[in-house]
Amino acid sequence: MQLGIVTLFPAMFAAVTEYGISGRAVRSGLMNLELFNPRDYTTDKHRSVDDKPFGGGPGMLMKTEPLMASIAAARRAVETKHAAGADNSESKGTKVIYLSPQGKTLKQDSIIDLAQRESMVLLCGRYQGIDNRVLESEIDEEWSLGDFVISGGELAAMTLIDAMTRFQPGALGDEGSALEDSFSNGLLHSPEYTRPQSINGQGVPEVLLSGDHEAIRKWRLKQSLGATWLKRPDLLQAMSLENEQEELLEQFKQDYLRD
Ligand SMILES: C[S@@+](CC[C@H](N)C(=O)[O-])C[C@H]1O[C@@H](n2cnc3c(N)ncnc32)[C@H](O)[C@@H]1O
């Protein structure tokens, strides 16, 4: 995946390019990030990247011309790289995404869809955000982390990049593990245990030590349904459960109410 990132704080992206699973995906070439700083596209001697809003009010906005120039440069670079590596010439489909509290909230299914794309430009806002004309002319999609406001789009862009990396073929040690994560099948992940087998008098559910794969699968599904019922009942309401799932959830509820 080719990513062009427009940001006033490119150094922040070391968090995804140097560490963990996303760092490994970058080093192996699965994800290619190129950073574009609007400050490098200024033409005044102070290299200003912010400006006052018309009509007054608190705060500043990102200055329009450097922002537009850096978005154009990012789009060009990503499309050129994508065209060079692609089997076909479908390189013009690169979307410009603005990370914004006003966007659609990111969920696991949107991450899975976005992760299929071969290229994108991510715009990280700062200050009070961007001029509405940039929004109308340059931005294809707005995506949000949730209904709260953070100080800049960098953490949102890095969150998106990290989450998409989990769905790049070859990025995880075990291909299937992202599909077993919470939300991928609509449910929360079941509880997990590692060594030691006993700690401070707390053991591990016997079934996990049994070697009976079918019993373990059923136990995990039951716990996954139960965790979702207890912690995120809204997720269950949005699903239609299969017969086996209905039965296991009923058993979980009975066990839970009995204990
Ligand atoms: C202080 S915020 C601006 C908020 C803007 N004045 C508003 O109320 O809609 C600065 C930047 O942080 C980013 N940002 C803030 N909250 C976000 C969220 N929930 N999801 C994604 N990006 C966010 C956006 O890029 C935004 O331009």
Distances (CA, A) of 145 to 12, 85, 117: 18, 31, 19
Per-residue model confidence (pLDDT) at position 149? 98
Q: What is the pLDDT confidence band of residue 98, given thresholds at 50, 70 and 90?
A: very high
Task: Answer whether 230 contacts ligand 1 (Cβ < 6 A).
Answer: no
Q: What is the pLDDT confidence band of residue 71, given thresholds at 50, 70 and 90?
A: very high
Per-residue model confidence (pLDDT) at position 117? 97
Compute how many other C-beta atoms are within 10 angstroms of the C-beta atom of residue 10. Answer: 18
Instruction: Using DSSP bridges, classify how beta strands 50-51 and 61-62 pair: parallel, antiparallel or unpaired.
Output: antiparallel
Task: Answer whether 144 contacts ligand 1 (Cβ < 6 A).
Answer: yes
Q: Does pLDDT of 90 surpass 70?
A: no
Q: Does pLDDT of 89 surpass 60?
A: no
Give the number of the atom of ligand 1 that is nearest the alpha carbon of residue 147.
19
Distances (CA, A) of 171 to 33, 121, 134, 166: 15, 21, 34, 6
Per-residue model confidence (pLDDT) at position 87? 53
2-165: CATH topology is: Alpha/beta knot (3.40.1280)
Tokens standing for residue 44: 């005044």
185-258 domain in CATH 3.30.1300.10?
Answer: no
Q: How far apart are CA 50 and CA 21, in angstroms?
A: 34
Share the mean pLDDT of the chain: 95
* pTM for this predicted structure: 0.95
Q: Does pLDDT of 33 surpass 90?
A: yes
Domain with CATH 1.10.1270.20 in the chain: 185-258
User: Whole-angstrom distance between the N-terminal and C-terminal Cα of the chain?
Assistant: 49
Domain with CATH 3.40.1280.10 in the chain: 2-165
Q: Whose CA is nearest to atom 4 of ligand 1?
A: 128
